[in-house]
């Protein structure tokens, strides 16, 4: 009997201890909000070895999920890697801390070009540090798709490949494909254009094999589909020689597309800004950045990286995006309240899928 | 010391704070906008066609899952209940054990089995020559929901059937009832409580799941759970999310009420699993 | 005829068992492939098991979180639930019915609704997302309490109230009467409530997903890695390990209870003989 009582008492005491436990274990932990497979885990180990700081990663699959978490009043994250338009919205909302570049001497390795481009969404370059960049495009399996059919967004709307098309399950990316195809801006707030694009997607929905995000890589490697809307980095991952599929290829449609920049930012509520800056600086070290690039396969804006890359990445066309391709592309902008137009269109698409 | 007082901490703190208050919050988000009462969101849910299709899909999937689980599970429970007690105890573990494994892992297993290059497709391909596309279809989601929830049907059925007084069956036999008559007139009515608790234990989670449809539906099978999750976690729209959640609760209450009615009409005391 | 019927019965059970275990068996087999994805067999390797515990999967932290939450929440729920059940038992019928039906809410509600509502509550009363562990424990305790209450209540109904009063008449303080008489009497109910709470907490995904904040438990890790990703072999390895652990545990528990039953039966025989 006494035993049971003591167990119960111990439990009550343990329960009381919890808040204390939580606070003490978090003093040397950086909470990082990231995309899946977007940071080489060995670098977390390495960083811990060097500084004693643990990186606690939480992953999401869309900018919208990220925004939701970062805009919460009790945002618990110290570091995050949202894309351009999300950064813009976060800055507008006053959710990001100004970064102290004195703590990040390695910023010198970032290509000047990208610092200039980031000024488009981070006007004074005070809040964000470029992490990776890339373009939205189409990955296809060369054994299943006619060479004559490639080149345009029309490929995603080609009913010849019914049941072999993968759509990307993310609101702005899917809409961007449909908008570009019609020659509209990917940042349009014209309701008619948005509706037209949504209708185009709804019309094609029966022909899609699936709406996927991260798994599109394995699905394409396994040959489940012939065509997929992907980020260039995911295409590189899927073509990679060890476990990838060498029949896969990638192109940026001639009508233009989206160019994106994923940036490291520090939420304004973070109490560990110094540590976060320390980690950012660590990731910008060319050797570290190169190691990370060989893991994530997204194009690095770091000038020191190209020389250190292996043979595959050095020659991969989806990794080495040409200036010509970049010129065709447009960056996503934060649409403010007009995002509601997209949300409504998205709800309509979701309902059409459910039918 | 009055024993009643032992329940006061729960009744005065825990229950209001962590059971009642959260539900009130859902209700508040669904019916208030900027501090004023509104039925805007309710209207939005019912007048636009954006959300109802997912609800139908969920109800349809949950109904089929429950029916199939009952059809597969009842004979299993019945056969177990007729077996030698000690053997039945051991065999029943086989059916209950999957309950102890993480449901996501069990769903994951089907993702692998149903893959285009997976085992099932290879077998079908070898037999028929064509390669079927199993993954990312409603059928895939159904197989997984049936698989995941089957133990939750078998267990209450088995408990009820096992506890059943054998003498009723013997009496029926002695009075000249055939096997079929004994089953339909004696065994089946007596097992209604088990059937009901089995149905509730399968129907409710099957209707509100979002992980299973996400994993195997490939974004092509939209269930209401997924819509709620997307509204709340992605579009940051707790209003519509909460409205849909309330709708889900109402559906559950309706189905429970129907079940209770069936139960009462049968005049039984109600079966509990635990 | 009888033999034929027995065969049919056996065959039916066999088919259902096959349906239930074939996917698990395939998963165990594929956990030994060399490939990164469990859809491809390209040679034998234990790589998946190595990978499971590598930092790339990062399974250690979620595993600890899962266990800490399960232990603390099930113990807390058992303490609160048992106290509540004892109190409810001596309460008048009307108020008791009200409390009981409210208590049933978390059992009846879809997990999704419980999760969402808890999330809204935490956001409002300011239990911040950083306190992921604390949030998880509160949420898990909340959905565990009803299960403990409803495991203990039937036992209280079975045990006699006079026992408690007799103990008091014999000079026990109310506290002593409770701990020395009532609680031992309802112990089986408390233990089964505790076990149930513990396993429910271990297995929970949906509620944790909404309230977890910065903390990730095993189910959340699985979801984030598999729901939208491919089929990594490391999770086949995890399934295999979990299946083996659960299987061995259940086997031990059941063998023990069978042995105990046998011993009891023999004891009874001896007593009978003596009589």
Q: Does the distance separating the beta carbons of B219 and A169 come in below 8 Å?
A: yes
Against chain B, the chains showing at least 3 CB pairs within 8 Å are A, C
Position C250 in a domain: no
Q: Is A102 exposed, middle or buried (0-12, 13-18, 19+ CB in 10 A)?
A: exposed
Position B78 in a domain: yes
Query: Is the pLDDT assigned to residue A166 strictly greater than 90?
Result: yes
User: What is the per-residue pLDDT for A355?
Assistant: 78
Nearest to A68 among B52, B135, B236 (CB): B236
* Pairing between β-strand A79-80 and β-strand A29-35 as defined by DSSP bridges: parallel
If one counts every other C-beta atom within 10 angstroms of the C-beta of residue C256, the result is 10
Q: Does the distance separating the beta carbons of B135 and A224 come in below 8 Å?
A: yes
The angle that helices B138-163 and C2-30 make with each other, rounded to 10 degrees, is 130
Q: Does the distance separating the beta carbons of B220 and A222 come in below 8 Å?
A: no
d(CA A308, CA A72): 40
Same domain, C80 and C167: yes
Position B10 in a domain: no
Same domain, C210 and C137: yes
A246 contact partners, CB below 8 Å, separation of at least 6: A239
Q: How many domains does chain B have?
A: 1
Burial C64-81 (b: 16+ CB within 10 A, else e): ebbebbbbbbbbbbbbbb
d(CA C84, CA C148): 10
User: What is the per-residue pLDDT for A21?
Assistant: 52
Q: Which positions 88-127 of A are in contact with C (Cβ < 8 Å)?
A: none
Query: CATH classification of A134-259+325-354 is 3.40.190.10, yes or no?
Result: yes
Query: Is the pLDDT assigned to residue A83 strictly greater than 50?
Result: yes
User: What is the per-residue pLDDT for B30?
Assistant: 94
Nearest to B108 among C13, C83, C231 (CB): C231
C189 min Cα distance to partner chain B (Å): 10
Highest mean pLDDT, choosing among A52-61, A190-199, C182-191, C252-261: A190-199
Q: Are C138 and C127 in contact (CB under 8 A)?
A: yes
C interface residues, A as partner, C-beta within 8 Å: 35-37, 39-40, 54-56, 58, 61, 71-72, 75-76, 78-79, 123, 126, 128-134, 137, 179-180, 183-184, 187, 213-214, 216, 224-225, 228-231
C243 min Cα distance to partner chain A (Å): 26
Chain C interface, best mutation among B8, B10, B58, by max C CB count within 10 A: B10
DSSP A126-187: -SEEEEEEEEEEEEEETTTS-GGGTTSGGGGG-GGGTT-EEEE--HHHHHHHHHHHTT--TT
Contacts of A217 in chain C (CB under 8 A): 230
Q: Which two tokens stand for residue A42?
A: 């060995």
CB-based contact, C208 to chain B, within 8 Å: no
Query: Is the pLDDT assigned to residue C185 strictly greater than 80?
Result: yes
Query: Is the pLDDT assigned to residue A18 strictly greater than 70?
Result: no
Least confident interval from A155-169, A296-310, B10-24, C226-240: C226-240
Q: Where are the domains of chain A?
A: 2-133+261-319, 134-259+325-354
Q: Does the distance separating the beta carbons of A22 and C133 come in below 8 Å?
A: yes
Query: Is the pLDDT assigned to residue A131 strictly greater than 90?
Result: yes
If you measure CA to CA, which chain C residue comes closest to B250?
C109
Highest mean pLDDT, choosing among A295-309, B221-235, C48-62: A295-309
d(CA C78, CA C82): 6
Give the model confidence (pLDDT) of B80-106 as tens digits.
998 888 888 888 888 888 888 889 999
Q: Are A179 and A188 in contact (CB under 8 A)?
A: yes
**CA neighbor of A343 nearest in space, from B32, B211, B44:** B44
Percent of chain B with pLDDT over 70: 96
B102 contact partners, CB below 8 Å, separation of at least 6: C202, C203, C205, C218, C219, C222, C242
Partners of A251 in beta bridges: A138
Give the model confidence (pLDDT) of B124-148 as tens digits.
888 988 878 889 999 999 999 999 9
Position C258 in a domain: no
Same domain, C95 and C212: yes
User: What is the per-residue pLDDT for B268?
Assistant: 46
A203 min Cα distance to partner chain B (Å): 14
Query: Is the pLDDT assigned to residue A164 strictly greater than 50?
Result: yes
Same domain, C122 and C218: yes
The domain boundary, picked from C52, C72, C88, lies at C52
C44: left (phi over 0), alpha (psi -120 to 50) or beta: beta
Least confident interval from A232-236, B119-123, B193-197: B119-123
| Residue B1: band (very low, low, confident or very high) from pLDDT cuts 50, 70, 90 | low
DSSP B50-92: SSHHHHHHHHHHHHHHHHHHHHHHHHHHHHHHHS-HHHHHHHH
B133 min Cα distance to partner chain A (Å): 9
If you measure CA to CA, which chain B residue comes closest to C121?
B22
**CA neighbor of C117 nearest in space, from A76, B64, B26:** B26
Q: Which positions 229-258 of A are in contact with C (Cβ < 8 Å)?
A: 243
**In this structure, which topology does domain A2-133+261-319 adopt according to CATH?**
D-Maltodextrin-Binding Protein; domain 2 (3.40.190)
Q: Does the distance separating the beta carbons of B104 and C117 come in below 8 Å?
A: no
User: What is the per-residue pLDDT for B130?
Assistant: 83
User: What is the per-residue pLDDT for B170?
Assistant: 86
Position C122 in a domain: yes
DSSP C64-129: HHHHHHHHHHHHHHHHHHHHHHHHHHTS-HHHHHHHHHHHHHHHHS-HHHHHHHHHHHHHHHT--G
User: What is the per-residue pLDDT for A3?
Assistant: 52
Give the model confidence (pLDDT) of A308-320 as tens digits.
999 999 999 999 9
The residue behind tokens 């449809």 is B213
Query: Is the pLDDT assigned to residue B164 strictly greater than 90?
Result: no
Q: ∠ CA A80-A86-A90 to the nearest 5 degrees?
A: 80
Position B11 in a domain: no
User: What is the per-residue pLDDT for C241?
Assistant: 92
If you measure CA to CA, which chain A residue comes closest to C39?
A222
Query: Is the pLDDT assigned to residue C179 strictly greater than 80?
Result: yes
Give the model confidence (pLDDT) of C53-87 as tens digits.
887 788 888 999 999 999 999 999 999 999 999 99
User: What is the per-residue pLDDT for A25?
Assistant: 56
Against chain A, the chains showing at least 3 CB pairs within 8 Å are B, C
If you measure CA to CA, which chain B residue comes closest to A346?
B50
Q: Does the distance separating the beta carbons of B104 and C219 come in below 8 Å?
A: yes
Nearest to C12 among B14, B29, B75 (CB): B75
Percent of chain C with pLDDT over 90: 50
Same domain, C20 and C84: no
User: What is the per-residue pLDDT for B265?
Assistant: 74
Position B175 in a domain: yes
Q: Containing domain of residue C146, as a range?
A: 60-232
What's the sign of the alpha-carbon dihedral C251, C252, C254, C259? Answer: positive
Give me the total of CB pairs closer than 8 Å, taking one residue from chain B and one from chain C: 226
* Pairing between β-strand A128-141 and β-strand A208-212 as defined by DSSP bridges: unpaired
d(CA C183, CA C55): 46
Q: Does the distance separating the beta carbons of A41 and C54 come in below 8 Å?
A: yes
pLDDT mean over B138-167: 92
User: What is the per-residue pLDDT for A4?
Assistant: 55
User: What is the per-residue pLDDT for C166?
Assistant: 87
pLDDT mean over B108-120: 87
d(CA B92, CA B106): 19
pLDDT mean over B17-39: 93
Same domain, C74 and C34: no
Q: Does the distance separating the beta carbons of B20 and C239 come in below 8 Å?
A: no
CATH number at residue B96: 1.10.3720.10
pLDDT mean over A193-209: 96
B103 min Cα distance to partner chain C (Å): 7
Q: Are B52 and B46 in contact (CB under 8 A)?
A: yes
Position C255 in a domain: no
Give the model confidence (pLDDT) of C127-167 as tens digits.
988 899 999 999 999 999 999 999 999 999 888 778 888 88
Q: Which two tokens stand for residue C163?
A: 């026992």
User: What is the per-residue pLDDT for B32?
Assistant: 93
d(CA A65, CA C271): 69
User: ipTM score here?
Assistant: 0.88
Q: Are A81 and A65 in contact (CB under 8 A)?
A: no
Query: Is the pLDDT assigned to residue C251 strictly greater than 70?
Result: yes
Q: What is the Cβ-side half-sphere exposure of residue A313, based on CA atoms within 13 angstroms?
A: 21
Against chain C, the chains showing at least 3 CB pairs within 8 Å are A, B
d(CA C140, CA B218): 30
d(CA B14, CA A165): 51
C231 min Cα distance to partner chain B (Å): 7
d(CA A182, CA A193): 9
Longest CA–CA separation in chain A, Å: 81
Percent of chain A with pLDDT over 70: 93
| Residue A23: band (very low, low, confident or very high) from pLDDT cuts 50, 70, 90 | very low
Q: How many domains does chain C have?
A: 2
Percent of chain A with pLDDT over 90: 78
User: What is the per-residue pLDDT for A10?
Assistant: 54
């Amino acid at each position: 009997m006494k035993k049971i009582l003591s167990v119960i008492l111990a439990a009550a005491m343990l329960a009381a201890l919890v808040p204390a436990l939580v606070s003490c274990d978090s003093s040397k932990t950086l909470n990082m909000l990231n995309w899946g497979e977007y940071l080489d885990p060995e670098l977390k180990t390495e960083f811990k070895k060097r500084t004693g700081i643990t990186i606690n990663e939480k992953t999401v699959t869309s900018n919208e999920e990220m925004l939701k978490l970062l805009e919460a009043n009790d945002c618990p994250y110290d570091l995050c890697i949202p894309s351009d338009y999300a950064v813009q919205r976060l800055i507008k909302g006053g959710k990001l801390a100004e970064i102290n570049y004195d703590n990040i001497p390695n910023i010198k390795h970032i290509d000047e070009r990208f610092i200039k481009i980031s000024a488009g969404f981070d006007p004074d370059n005070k809040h964000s540090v470029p992490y990776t960049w890339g373009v939205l495009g189409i990955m296809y399996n060369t054994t299943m798709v006619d060479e004559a059919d490639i080149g345009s967004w029309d490929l995603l709307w080609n009913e010849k490949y019914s049941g072999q098309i993968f759509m990307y399950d993310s609101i702005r990316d899917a809409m961007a494909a449909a908008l570009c195809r019609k020659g509209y801006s990917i940042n349009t707030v014209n309701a008619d254009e948005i509706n037209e694009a949504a209708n185009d997607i709804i019309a094609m929905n029966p022909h899609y094999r699936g709406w996927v995000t991260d798994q599109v890589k394995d699905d394409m490697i396994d040959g489940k589909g012939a065509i997929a809307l992907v980020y260039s980095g995911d295409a590189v991952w899927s073509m990679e020689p060890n476990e990838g599929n060498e029949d896969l290829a990638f192109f940026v449609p001639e009508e233009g597309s989206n160019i994106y920049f994923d940036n490291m930012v520090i939420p304004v509520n973070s109490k560990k800004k110094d540590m976060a800056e320390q980690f950012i600086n660590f990731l910008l070290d060319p050797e570290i950045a190169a190691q990370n690039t060989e893991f994530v396969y997204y194009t690095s804006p770091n000038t020191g990286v190209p020389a250190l890359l292996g043979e595959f990445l050095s020659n991969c066309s989806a990794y080495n995006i040409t200036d010509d391709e970049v010129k065709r592309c447009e960056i996503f902008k934060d649409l403010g309240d007009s995002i509601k137009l997209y949300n409504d269109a998205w709800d309509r698409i979701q309902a059409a899928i459910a039918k | 010391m009055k024993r009643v007082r032992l329940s006061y901490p729960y009744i005065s703190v825990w229950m209001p704070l962590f059971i009642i208050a959260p539900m009130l919050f859902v209700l508040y988000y669904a019916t208030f906008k900027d501090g004023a009462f509104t039925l805007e969101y309710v209207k939005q849910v019912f007048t636009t066609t954006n959300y109802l299709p997912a609800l139908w899909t969920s109800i349809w999937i949950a109904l089929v899952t429950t029916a199939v689980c009952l059809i597969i599970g009842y004979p299993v429970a019945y056969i177990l209940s007729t077996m030698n007690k000690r053997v039945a105890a051991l065999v029943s573990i086989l059916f209950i054990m999957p309950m102890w494994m993480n449901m996501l892992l069990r769903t994951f297993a089907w993702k692998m089995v149903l893959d285009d290059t997976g085992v099932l497709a290879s077998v079908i391909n070898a037999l028929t020559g064509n390669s079927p596309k199993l993954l990312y279809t409603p059928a895939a989601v159904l197989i997984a929901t049936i698989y995941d929830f089957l133990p939750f049907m078998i267990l209450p059925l088995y408990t009820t059937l096992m506890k059943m007084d054998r003498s009723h069956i013997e009496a029926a036999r002695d009075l000249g009832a055939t096997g079929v008559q004994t089953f339909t007139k004696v065994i089946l009515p007596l097992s209604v409580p088990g059937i009901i608790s089995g149905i509730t234990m399968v129907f409710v989670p099957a209707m509100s799941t979002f992980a299973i449809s996400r994993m195997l539906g490939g974004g092509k099978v939209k269930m209401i759970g997924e819509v709620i999750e997307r509204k709340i976690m992605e579009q940051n729209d707790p209003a519509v999310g909460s409205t849909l959640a309330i709708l889900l609760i109402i559906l559950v209450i309706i189905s429970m009420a129907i079940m209770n009615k069936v139960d009462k009409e049968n005049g039984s005391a109600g079966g509990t699993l635990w | 005829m009888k033999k034929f019927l027995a065969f049919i019965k056996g065959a039916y059970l066999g088919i259902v068992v096959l349906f239930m275990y074939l996917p698990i068996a395939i998963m165990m087999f594929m956990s030994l492939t060399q490939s990164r994805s469990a859809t491809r067999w390209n040679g034998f390797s234990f790589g998946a098991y190595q990978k499971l515990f590598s930092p790339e999967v990062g399974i250690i932290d979620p595993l600890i979180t899962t266990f800490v939450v399960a232990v603390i929440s099930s113990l807390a729920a058992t303490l609160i639930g048992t106290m509540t059940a004892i109190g409810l038992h001596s309460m008048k019928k009307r108020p008791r019915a009200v409390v009981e039906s409210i208590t049933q809410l978390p059992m009846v509600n879809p997990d999704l609704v419980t999760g969402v509502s808890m999330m809204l509550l935490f956001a409002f009363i300011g239990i911040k997302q950083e306190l992921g562990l604390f949030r998880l424990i509160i949420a898990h305790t909340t959905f565990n309490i009803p299960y403990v209450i409803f495991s203990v209540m039937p036992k209280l109904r079975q045990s006699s109230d006079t026992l408690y009063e007799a103990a008091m008449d014999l000079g026990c303080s109310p506290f002593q009467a409770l701990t020395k008489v009532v609680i031992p009497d309802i112990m089986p109910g408390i233990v089964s409530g505790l076990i149930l709470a513990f396993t429910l907490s271990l297995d929970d995904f949906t509620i944790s997903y909404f309230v977890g904040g910065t903390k990730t438990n095993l189910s959340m890790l699985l979801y984030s890695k598999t729901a939208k990703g491919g089929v990594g072999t490391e999770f086949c390895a995890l399934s295999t390990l979990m299946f083996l652990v659960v299987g061995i545990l259940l086997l031990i528990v059941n063998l023990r209870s069978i042995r105990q039953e046998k011993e009891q039966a023999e004891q009874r025989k001896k007593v009978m003989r003596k009589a």
